[in-house]
Structure 1
Amino acid sequence: MKNLYRQLNELKIDYEMKPMDVSAAEKNRIKGKVLRKKKKYRAPKLISAAAALIMATTVACGFAFPTFAAKLPIIGNLFEMFSDDESYVFEEYETYATDIGVTKESNGISITVENAVYDGESISIAYKMVSDKDLGTRPILEGMLDAVEFGDEYKDYGFAPKYISKKISENEYAGLLIYQLIKGPKPEEIHVTWKGEQVLDLSNVSNSFSGEWAYEFTLNKLKVHSKDYVGSELIAADDGINIVLTKMTATPVSTTIYLSESVDIPTVTKQDTEWRGILMDYRVTDDVGNEYNIISYEDIGHSSDFNGRNLESNPRITMTLLDKQATSLYITPIVNIYELDKENGSDLIPIQEPYEIEPIVVPIEK
């Protein structure tokens, strides 16, 4: 549960969660955010089949759990299993992944960390779970992730974990942890310690299994190319809204977009009223017809009660690699306006239909 409390500071939420009864602690974790289903953004249409083949599993785990290995694809590609997920943003991982292949068992659940990638923006870990009990429909391994090189920089804030899970067969599961590094150091080499504390079903958070699954491994940062856009006037603007592109980074496996949002809530809502909230979604497309899968980090959002009238928020978008034929990228903001429940800040009620504003148009350098 320690990791759950750490997440309060960043208000990190899995927005793919379906409405359900949750514990009081879970309600507090999502305070100020919205339980909503994002639109499904598909990966670029021109990605080759080879680019989708990512992360081979190790032979050792196949010997330990032959029935599970037989039910995985022949190449043992855990990342490929999530190609139909709206958060699938992985490319070329079969080239850049570090093999881990370590299995730990606790409370009747065997968990094997197969591969991991560190690209300077995120640490992505692929793992599989085998158990003699039903873990639910979307179980994930939750716990503390750290690296000695981080010092205390990510101790309480600055990170944003994203969990993806899939049931392979009865009592067999595949999972991904995308540990986004938001505000803190990004060393060239990291010695990672991941201490799993519980297996939690995202579809039913009351269904959890405590245990101890500890892993240690070393990862080297992939090559990162970054372009600063501060002062470039690449802006999306509307009445009371100003969104600026500040930076883009490209790694061999993904692209990350950094934005700065400034929102005047009374102007946007046309109501100078308390308990109003505004959150932005984004749609990313290009000039050759691709609509990109994305993973969003929303930062603090905008609330008339929690952060004042016009406080800056700095979201981040991680997406698949850009299509090589594209010459322009379109980042379209989608404005969501809510009324906050005065009794329970985790409940936000839409007060009008979401709407798009004119996109930021980014020229793609060749």
Structure 2
Amino acid sequence: MSIFKELNDVRLDVTEFEEIPLSTMERKRIQKRIYNKISTKTKMKKKKNYFLLAVASFIVISSFTFILTFPALAAKVPILSNIFELLIHDENYVFEEYDKHSTDIGITQESNGINITTTNAVYDGENITIAYTIKSEQDLGERPVLEGKIIVDEFGDRYKDNGYFENYIVEKINDHEYAVIYIYQLLEGFKPDTLHVTWTGDTVLNLNNVRQATLGSWSFQFSLDMLDNKTRKFATSEFSTEEEGIEVELTKITQTPISSTIYLSELVDERVVSQEEEEMRGVSIEYLISDNLGKEYKYVHYRDTGHSTDFDANHRSYPRITTNVFDDAATTLTITPIINVMKVANPDSNGAGPLVPVMKPYTIEPIQVPINKN
């Protein structure tokens, strides 16, 4: 039964309503849900469609909503969410297809005055990605996240200490609300078809100031099915690029309905690249990912160990790049390495300090890869 039918059968005293402003996030959620509802009713009569559009316009334009004082009825109001869409302007935004394939969770946990709501999650064999919100009247800083751990029944102890990497994308919606995407990257090991996940945390931590932490206890349990995926392996001698002191090879690409993951191998002789024999030098490699249509792809970058003169000359790093689904019309992918040479500025007694560039970044010959071929 729809919420409108339920409301039609209820007799309410208007004095029992409290009028409060809608947050920016809530207005976006309502707009998204209404749009989706209306677009699926194409077979309805025009008169009914006009009525729904009028109702939708009234709800979206209005900047106020009513809170029902009847708990049983209020519990039936659906949770409206699309955290993936809210972060569309982030430089690492790779989530264009995530909302279509994610599992609705809709679980809220409150602890120490902080409400955390897990809205959606998705598992594609490459990553477990969880979208959630944090709400609190407390000052949590600019980039708060739930710090905890993921326990998957099917993994056992395989990912207890290594084989994974965590990434966070945070958007501050207003002074008291945040949207977060948590990416649990599965780098190696067992990847079953179904996961039974327990996600727990005891700290909300501000990533911009790790001294700002709020203790509590939050726990979420849900199950996820793996999306379809296909992996194409490459002969590294054919899909590689070299420059004096640098060798980059493409090893494989995995494609799923929500993402494309590019696996690489990097070998760098830091002394040769930096032309420096004595001082410590580090080399980082970024990438420009584009296709033959001129589209440039944003990505989430796992850098592995990176490159430093602390390693021996034969040390290899195995990064991977997670980006959007490739454009169906594209036939060639171009992977262009961008080389950055760094040093430690004003090192302390342990040799640690901020990294600064010692020369201008430069590119080397790109790797050309045919894509969207059966």
Same fold, judged at TM 0.5 (above)? yes
1:354 maps to which residue? 361
Deviations 1:322-347 (A, max 9, x none): 11111111111111111244634353
State the identity as a percent.
48
Where does 1:197-212 land on structure 2 (aligned, <5 Å)?
197-212=202-217
Residue 26 (structure 2) aligned to one of 67, 70, 90 = 70
Superposed CA deviations along residues 284-325 of structure 1, whole A, max 9, x for unmatched, are 0111110101000000011111x2123011000000011111
Structure 1 pair 303–70 and aligned structure 2 pair: CA distance change class (3 A) = closer
8 A Cα contact 2:236 2:250, kept in partner: no
**Who wins on radius of gyration, i.e. which is larger?**
2
Match of 1:237 in 2: 242
Shift in Å at residue 71 of structure 1? 4.1
Shift of 1:204: 2.5
Pick from 273, 282, 285: which aligns with 2:278?
273
Query: Cα distance, 1:130 vs. partner?
Result: 1.3
Candidates 264, 289, 292, aligned match of 1:287: 292
Secondary structure (helix, strand or coil) at the match of 1:73 reads: helix
For the residue of structure 1 that corresponds to 2:222, the secondary structure is strand
Distance 2:178 2:192 in 1: 32
Instruction: Pick one of 326, 336, 339 that aligns with 1:335.
Output: 339
Aligned 8 A contact 1:265 1:310 in 2: no
* Counterparts of 1:291 and 1:232, CA distance in 2: 25
Indicate how the Cα distance of structure 1 residues 240 and 212 shifts in structure 2: closer, same or farther if over 3 A, else same: same
Structure 2 segments unaligned to the other structure (5+ residues) = 1-19, 33-80
What letter is aligned with 1:169? Answer: N
Aligned-pair RMSD on alpha carbons? 1.8
Equivalent residue number for residue 224 of structure 2? 219
SS class of match (2:211): coil
- Distance in structure 1 (CA, Å) of the matches to 2:165 and 2:308: 20
Q: 1:109 aligns with which of 114, 121, 128?
A: 114
Q: How many residues align?
A: 301
Does 1:161 pair with 2:166? yes
Q: Is the 8 A contact 2:84 2:96 kept in 1?
A: no
Give, in whole Å, the separation in 1 of the partners of 2:21 and 2:224: 28
Q: Is the 8 A contact 1:71 1:168 kept in 2?
A: no
- Contact 1:249–1:255 at 8 Å: present in 2 too? yes
Cα 1:85/1:145, change in 2 over 3 Å: same
Counterpart code for 1:313: S
**Aligned counterpart in structure 2 of residue 79 of structure 1, from 84, 98, 101:** 84
- Which is worse superposed, 212-221 or 341-350? 341-350
TM-score by length of 1: 0.78
Structure with more contact order per residue of length (Cα contacts < 8 Å, sep ≥ 6): 1
